[in-house]
Amino acid sequence: MRTNRLEAFSDGVLAIVITIMVLEIKVPHDTQPLALMPLIPVFLSYLLSFLYIGLYWNNHHHMLHTLERVDGPILMANLHLLFWLSLVPFATGWMGQNPRATAPAALYGLVLLMAALAYYILQSRIIAAQGSGSLLRQAVGRDWKGHASLGLYMVALPASLRAPVIAQAIYALVALWWLAPDPRIEKVLRDPR
Amino acid sequence: MRTNRLEAFSDGVLAIVITIMVLEIKVPHDTQPLALMPLIPVFLSYLLSFLYIGLYWNNHHHMLHTLERVDGPILMANLHLLFWLSLVPFATGWMGQNPRATAPAALYGLVLLMAALAYYILQSRIIAAQGSGSLLRQAVGRDWKGHASLGLYMVALPASLRAPVIAQAIYALVALWWLAPDPRIEKVLRDPR
Amino acid sequence: MRTNRLEAFSDGVLAIVITIMVLEIKVPHDTQPLALMPLIPVFLSYLLSFLYIGLYWNNHHHMLHTLERVDGPILMANLHLLFWLSLVPFATGWMGQNPRATAPAALYGLVLLMAALAYYILQSRIIAAQGSGSLLRQAVGRDWKGHASLGLYMVALPASLRAPVIAQAIYALVALWWLAPDPRIEKVLRDPR
Amino acid sequence: MRTNRLEAFSDGVLAIVITIMVLEIKVPHDTQPLALMPLIPVFLSYLLSFLYIGLYWNNHHHMLHTLERVDGPILMANLHLLFWLSLVPFATGWMGQNPRATAPAALYGLVLLMAALAYYILQSRIIAAQGSGSLLRQAVGRDWKGHASLGLYMVALPASLRAPVIAQAIYALVALWWLAPDPRIEKVLRDPR
């Protein structure tokens, strides 16, 4: 099976996930500018999740770019990743409506952690399928950015039980860190040596 | 007509079906961790339906892979399959909110049964269009897995009226059974002899 | 501009329209089988609209198949068609919840009429762009099926004000009529003489 | 990275944005024709936003047509544009339900302004990536239409605080202006000299 239909399906799911989150920003009944004030945390959590889904889409795209054929386990690992990402709108809605509560901040981190683990599993599965000389392995190297993100989520989880704002700051920092362009895969693809 | 636009439309519908189901998991007003407890059956039924739609997407993809051209009856059989799959979110929502009630468990099974029948009709239609030497017929063989699934749904339907949990266990087992990779089509495609 | 991105965008919109209609079938709070009884008209109107959108997708696909390049007016005519089709979920919801009321049945017919007109405009625009020897003109011929459908909708509109059930029967009959495969375009494409 | 997957993802997001807006037109409980009267401003704001998203899709398509490869900054600029466009359904819903209120009219204009700025950034980024002899630069020229639109939004913002209807007239005029086909890119693509 070629990768293009897997890409198309993943693109579809991610495009819907990123867009239905906006349905959580409920239109206020009031028409005063101040009516938007309580929506600010909802908006900020939407922005954060938009970034995350956009980054996943971007990295997912780069990763599949190194692949020519898809086997059953890769399909399942991809579905597993999409499952956790599909829970992002729920976690976003709960955290956005309760920005200072501990449980929503922890759940948001848990969903991010599970999605990151699912991404890691998919990546490992692709590297294994490519065998020695895997283009993706060369691109990813020791993948310390991926490992560090997993570690940061694991720090954020207990932190959220103490102070949600610390966990939320960690979530934002990880997103900003990934926003910085990652030249690894592009470099290897250009000059695979 | 080539298969690629049929695939694109089916991918679109399946991607939306799999994603809008998550809208049934309503964000709770409470912020306590315990507020998530009543959502557990909703979550589990979402997980089950996510698996089913993912498996249908996967098998649908393999099936269309054996096909080059699409005729009118195949288009209609495909639309028929999409219709039943589009009802999965409704059945999932009802069963998830009432995990111990008989009617929702029965309706869920009915939708699965109708989708499986629609899949079977589409498969037969493609085999007929391919004529003797059909690649899909070779791949599917006597299709005892497909037939057994139909039989299991038919067992689950009356069972759900007695004990919903038995029907739900059957639904889960069928999904897990299909999760195990099915090497038939891949093998035939690789070595079509 | 090639047609493929126009197809992709149209497919996306139609796939979403066909799927979000199911959100109008609200999950009942009751768990008795009888709780589904009031949903029967909602379900039937969903089924009817599913057929219509599926048929539009199918015919739209065939029509664009005769086209190689897209110009500005065709883009706008296509957007115009998508606009009216995007109102189908609203009209479906209103008619499904009030199956015996006149205004919802009339509005449903109005949306069908406007969509059919928009389709006709798009078709005329493509025929004009193809110039003499237009493949689509040969395929469509005198297009009496299209004209008759427009006429039937125009009959159904006043009928709905008297007896909604008559208008609804006309809507269903037109859909069933189009369900019968239309060999015109396929024949011309195969043997364009 | 080639542009096709970027196009597919953008098409998906825009198709969903354009379609979920219709969910803001709530099915009325009443069945009288007059029940549709209060929906007229909701409908008109839906129509306006449908036009805007359709025009963005159209221009976005033309713009990417001049591009062969996508780099990281272009990806991010594209995501930035999609973010603002994803807020259109929210702004549409608020303005549609409160057509005579100042804050919703101002917010709608703000979202349009931010989307136009994001489009401008994406366009500049693509021109920079294409270097001297940029096809897009030739096509866009001095881009006075783009600049004038930005200026009109900036006029509409303070106007909305005085009289929402003036701002809404400006939004409609800008849309109609862009509806008129823009031959620039098509001409340059045909005859790039």
Task: Please report whether residue D33 resides in a domain.
Answer: no
Task: Please report whether residue D145 resides in a domain.
Answer: yes
Q: What is the CA radius of gyration of chain C?
A: 18
Query: Are C79 and D54 in contact (CB < 8 Å)?
Result: yes
The residue that leads in pLDDT, D132 or A122, is A122
Give per-residue pLDDT as tens, D75-108: 899 999 999 999 999 999 999 999 999 999 999 9
From chain C, which residues contact D within 8 Å (Cβ)? 1, 5, 8-9, 12-13, 15-17, 20, 23-24, 71-73, 75-76, 79, 82-83, 86-87, 89-90, 93-94, 97-98, 101-104, 106-107
For residue C76, pLDDT over 70 is answered with yes
Give per-residue pLDDT as tens, D23-49: 889 999 899 999 899 999 999 999 999
Cβ–Cβ < 8 Å for A130, A137: yes
Task: Please report whether residue A192 resides in a domain.
Answer: no
Task: Please report whether residue D121 resides in a domain.
Answer: yes
**Counting every residue, how long is chain C?**
193
Q: How far is CA D183 from CA C80, C111, C125, D123, in A?
A: 20, 32, 18, 17
| Backbone dihedral region for residue B83 (phi beyond 0: left; psi -120 to 50: alpha; all else: beta) | alpha
What is the nearest CA distance from B124 to chain C, expressed in angstroms?
19
Position C193 scores a pLDDT of 46
| Alpha-carbon gap, residue B25 to A80, rounded angstroms | 18
| Alpha-carbon gap, residue D52 to D46, rounded angstroms | 10
Position A110 scores a pLDDT of 97
Q: What's the mean per-residue pLDDT of chain D?
A: 89
Position A193 scores a pLDDT of 45
The residue that leads in pLDDT, A185 or D117, is D117
Closest-CA residue in chain C for D32?
C103
pLDDT-derived band at D68, boundaries 50, 70, 90: confident
Query: Are A13 and B8 in contact (CB < 8 Å)?
Result: no
Query: Are B83 and C50 in contact (CB < 8 Å)?
Result: yes
Q: Nearest Cβ partner of C31 from B72, B87, B104?
A: B104
Query: Are D50 and C86 in contact (CB < 8 Å)?
Result: yes
Residues 6 or more apart from A81 whose CB is under 8 A from it?
A56, A60, A115, A118, A119, A121, A122
Q: Nearest Cβ partner of D8 from A8, A32, A181?
A: A8
Query: Are A97 and B47 in contact (CB < 8 Å)?
Result: no
What are chain D's partners, defined as 3 or more CB pairs within 8 angstroms?
Answer: A, C
What are chain C's partners, defined as 3 or more CB pairs within 8 angstroms?
Answer: B, D
- Over residues C153-171, the mean pLDDT reads 94
| Alpha-carbon gap, residue D12 to D25, rounded angstroms | 22
Position C24 scores a pLDDT of 87
Position A71 scores a pLDDT of 83
For residue D191, pLDDT over 70 is answered with no
Give per-residue pLDDT as tens, C7-52: 888 989 999 999 999 988 999 989 999 989 999 999 999 999 999 9
What is the nearest CA distance from B139 to chain A, expressed in angstroms?
15
pLDDT cut 70: percent of chain C above it: 93
| Alpha-carbon gap, residue B85 to B53, rounded angstroms | 8
Closest-CA residue in chain A for B5?
A5
Position B189 scores a pLDDT of 54
| Alpha-carbon gap, residue A61 to A10, rounded angstroms | 9
Amino acid identity, position B20: I
Task: Please report whether residue D147 resides in a domain.
Answer: yes
Closest-CA residue in chain D for A39?
D90
For residue C177, what are the domain limits? 3-190
3-state secondary structure of B76: helix
Q: How many domains does chain A have?
A: 1
pLDDT-derived band at A141, boundaries 50, 70, 90: confident
Q: Nearest Cβ partner of C20 from D19, D28, D179?
A: D19
Query: Are D20 and A25 in contact (CB < 8 Å)?
Result: no
| Alpha-carbon gap, residue C93 to A74, rounded angstroms | 40
Position C165 scores a pLDDT of 96
Closest-CA residue in chain D for C78?
D54
pLDDT-derived band at B72, boundaries 50, 70, 90: confident
For residue C137, pLDDT over 60 is answered with yes
3-state secondary structure of D71: coil
Other C-beta atoms within 10 Å of B114: how many?
A: 17
Cβ–Cβ < 8 Å for C64, C7: yes
Instruction: Point out which residues pair with C2 in neighbouring strands.
Output: C69
Q: What's the mean per-residue pLDDT of chain B?
A: 89
For residue A188, pLDDT over 80 is answered with no
Query: Are D19 and C23 in contact (CB < 8 Å)?
Result: no
For residue A79, pLDDT over 70 is answered with yes
Give per-residue pLDDT as tens, B48-63: 999 999 999 988 988 8
Mutating which of A2, A3, A26, A90 best tests the B interface, going by the most B Cβ atoms within 10 A?
A90
Mutating which of B6, B14, B16, B19 best tests the A interface, going by the most A Cβ atoms within 10 A?
B19
Query: Are A86 and B57 in contact (CB < 8 Å)?
Result: no
| Alpha-carbon gap, residue A170 to B75, rounded angstroms | 49
Helices (H) and strands (E) in chain D, counts: 9, 0
For residue C109, pLDDT over 60 is answered with yes
Cβ–Cβ < 8 Å for D42, D98: no
Q: Buried (b) or exposed (e) across C131-165, using 16+ Cβ within 10 A?
A: eeebbbbbbbeebeebeebbebbeebbebbeeebe
Task: Please report whether residue D31 resides in a domain.
Answer: no
Candidate ranges A127-136, A165-174, C8-17, D143-152; pick with highest mean pLDDT: A165-174
Query: Are A76 and B20 in contact (CB < 8 Å)?
Result: no
Q: Which two tokens stand for residue B147?
A: 């037939």
| Alpha-carbon gap, residue D25 to D32, rounded angstroms | 16
Q: What's the mean per-residue pLDDT of chain A?
A: 89
Position C191 scores a pLDDT of 53
Closest-CA residue in chain A for B34?
A103
For residue A191, pLDDT over 60 is answered with no
Position B28 scores a pLDDT of 92
Cβ–Cβ < 8 Å for C102, C160: yes
DSSP codes joined into one string, C122-149 = HHHHHHHHH-TT-HHHHHHTT-HHHHHH
Query: Are C24 and D19 in contact (CB < 8 Å)?
Result: no
This prediction's pTM: 0.90
Position D7 scores a pLDDT of 86
| Alpha-carbon gap, residue D47 to D21, rounded angstroms | 10
What is the nearest CA distance from C44 to chain B, expressed in angstroms?
12
| Alpha-carbon gap, residue B115 to B121, rounded angstroms | 10
Closest-CA residue in chain A for D101?
A31
Q: How far is CA A87 from CA A14, A17, B21, B55, C19, in A?
A: 11, 9, 10, 19, 19
For residue B193, pLDDT over 80 is answered with no
Query: Are B103 and C31 in contact (CB < 8 Å)?
Result: yes
pLDDT-derived band at A120, boundaries 50, 70, 90: very high
The residue that leads in pLDDT, B183 or D147, is D147
pLDDT cut 90: percent of chain D above it: 61
Per CB-CB distance under 8 Å, the chain D contacts of A12 are 12
Position D6 scores a pLDDT of 87
Task: Please report whether residue D29 resides in a domain.
Answer: no
For residue B135, pLDDT over 50 is answered with yes
What is the nearest CA distance from B91 to chain A, expressed in angstroms?
19
Q: What's the mean per-residue pLDDT of chain C?
A: 89
